[in-house]
Structure 1
């Protein structure tokens, strides 16, 4: 051992919290062709988290789904910032008011320090909207993107 130890960085979510969110994504996606991803990092290096969400969205290939119906929940936990970014297919169906409603839902849960519950509730509502506008087609649908949480820096 040297003069100092860097130690292990504490994970942003524990295994149980991660499993809870992934399960919410899987449940939300089972009745829709839409795709939901959750991206979590400690800090947002951009002034506007929506700019970072757009970058992450493209970097994850979410803009390449068949129906352009991917939705990203972006969270920068240490900075207390988040953004919800939906591709053009879903955005044209639900409009800006839907995203404002979902942002309010997250803000309410986060304000009560219910981070996991807030993410899960938001994923559920987004899934219901995706199901309404992009229902699951047994013959044609496939899970185009992984359901896991993506962790940034």
Structure 2
């Protein structure tokens, strides 16, 4: 895509687009699902939906630094800003959606990344992408959350005691 057209596309979208994709009622239901998920394992899950990349990031897209690499770097940046890396067991997961590019990134902290292959992540991303293309954001994110939860339960089940702390907010970050 021409850089000028890409810049226009990204400038056109804003936070109102994320609120249309994930309105308040959907965000509230997803928040409850994250909380329920986290009661079953020691991991922390964050959902981040971003309308568009800043133009400064878009200007760095080149043949040496293609858009998927820039998008991955952006997801890694949100992984840090949302403190997903800062969990006791190093088993946090960020599910990142970039609406302008229909891009999906899963960023897993190092403890979980040791247990889950790229193929396993892709098996979650593909159905999510299909649902998002069909406009089924809630269904797609719910299914992805359930599949991520299953991985976390398999590798990091919740302890029997009830004193498990919620380390990060469960809300959907929409920007």
Contact 1:44 1:79 in 2 (8 A): no
* 2:107 pairs with 1:85: yes
- Most deviating of 131-140 and 119-128: 131-140
Contact 2:104 2:129 in 1 (8 A): no
**Greater share of helix:** 2
User: What is the TM-score normalised by the length of structure 1?
Assistant: 0.86
* 2:91 pairs with 1:44: no
- Cα separation, 1, equivalents of 2:118 and 2:103: 19
Q: 1:35 matched to which residue of 2?
A: 44
Gaps of 5+ in 1: 1-8
Q: 1:124 aligns with which of 136, 141, 146?
A: 146
Q: 1:149 matched to which residue of 2?
A: 172
- Cα separation, 1, equivalents of 2:29 and 2:124: 19
Q: 1:3 matched to which residue of 2?
A: none
- Return the offset for 1:44: 2.7
Runs (4+) off by over 6 Å? none
- Cα separation, 1, equivalents of 2:93 and 2:113: 9
Aligned residues: CA RMSD: 1.6
- Return the offset for 1:137: 1.3
Q: 1:17-47: CA deviations, max 9, x gaps?
A: 1122112212221100001000111113442
Q: 1:55 matched to which residue of 2?
A: 77
- Cα separation, 2, equivalents of 1:127 and 1:44: 28
User: What is the TM-score normalised by the length of structure 2?
Assistant: 0.76
1:75-114 → structure 2 map (5 Å cutoff):
75-114=97-136
Q: 1:45-73: CA deviations, max 9, x gaps?
A: 44232111111001111111111110001
